[in-house]
Amino acid sequence: MKKHLMKGNDAVVRGALLGGCTHFFGYPITPASEIAHAASFYFPKAGRVFLQAECEVNAINMIYGASAAGARVMTASSGPGISLMAEGISYIAACELPSVIVDVQRAGPGLGNIWPEQSDYDTVVTGGSHGNYKCIVLAPASAQEMCDFTYRAFEISDEYRIPVFILADAYIGQMMEPVQVPEKVLRGSRKDWALYGDAESKRNLVTSIYMNAKQLEEVNLRLVKKFRDLGEKLFDVEETQTEDADILFVAYGISARICFTAVKSLRAEGIKAGLLRPKTISPFPVRRIAELAKKSRKVIVVELSDGQMLRDVRLAASDSNAAVVPFNWMGGKVPSTRELVEKTRLEVKS
């Protein structure tokens, strides 16, 4: 297949269609709007369903209904929209309904602005809303991965009956890069638990309300155990010169791309820098970070937030002697490679 130049947001839609998504429900919001725009064009052409909801609250409840009826469903938004979807996401998780949710992060809090940030980490990685549950969260760092991760997400979500987030940022969503789309078109199969309105499924029940405390506790325990068991199966990372790294960067999304170039510059100066990029940030690569931290003098967590991933890295590195150091930018500010290198030089000397 030839490569095509496209935005990361457009690549999401290509990955979704080839991954077997049948329904898109959403509401446009910058910097994720191109996802809804592209879906409105390509989904009908492919014989799939696109519907722009009245708002994000309605969109997530359409996701709930269509998934319960056995469809492969997705939506896409940014921080303010994800906040509006929060209650529905908790209902979907409680009912163990497969779904894919794309969050192209923008600066906050509040309305904020449309520039990149990574401050939805706490919201998305710790669950998404109220209750004891977690979602699978994939963190792409390129337009190619926006396509590939979305393509995979529907298979993962169907297999484990769990919501899957694609957690990107405004830069990854908006940048244009060559993308090679998958050749194989995936298809969902009939789900034995879904509500098809026929004789075979008439006894199925999809619900999140349990008036018996013991029953609800059992549901909670099942959700917790399922996610815990997923940890070793699904976590994925990319490593750059970590074998002998004295300074280990941990970053995802656009921050990881800046770190990747910084590692090359620092190595040229004789500073042994390396990079661990989590491709999955839920489940988090605890074991691998722990292993690398024991060999490193400093672990530098680079984020476009106040240090939301920092807490997970510190826990993972708690048995090492490495100092875990936050490098943070907020409000839509994104560091240049030069700025990151200079800041690292100072940290190495301290």
Match domain 238-349 to its CATH number in 3.90.1170.50, 3.30.2000.10, 3.40.50.920, 3.40.30.120: 3.40.50.920
Q: What is the pLDDT of residue 29?
A: 98
Instruction: Tell me the domain boundaries of the chain.
Output: 4-234, 238-349
Using alpha carbons only, what angle is made at residue 245 by residues 240 and 251, rounded to the nearest 5 degrees?
50
Q: Which residues of the chain register pLDDT less than 50?
A: none
Q: What is the pLDDT of residue 1?
A: 64
Q: How many CB atoms lie within 10 A of CB 280?
A: 21
Strands 136-138 and 280-282: antiparallel
Using alpha carbons only, what angle is made at residue 255 by residues 143 and 111, rounded to the nearest 5 degrees?
85
3-state SS assignment for residue 98: coil
Question: Per-residue pLDDT tens for 250-280?
Answer: 999 999 999 999 999 999 999 999 999 999 9
Question: Per-residue pLDDT tens for 34-62?
Answer: 999 999 999 999 999 999 999 999 999 99
Q: What is the pLDDT of residue 128?
A: 79
Query: Is it true that 4-234 and 238-349 share their CATH fold?
Result: yes
Q: What is the pLDDT of residue 293?
A: 98
Helix intervals (H) in the chain: 8-18, 33-45, 56-68, 79-94, 121-125, 143-160, 170-174, 213-234, 253-268, 286-293, 310-316, 337-349
Kindly tell me the sign of the dihedral angle through the C-alpha atoms of 158, 230, 309, 334: negative
Q: What is the pLDDT of residue 232?
A: 79
- 4-234: which CATH architecture? 3-Layer(aba) Sandwich (3.40)
Q: What is the pLDDT of residue 126?
A: 87
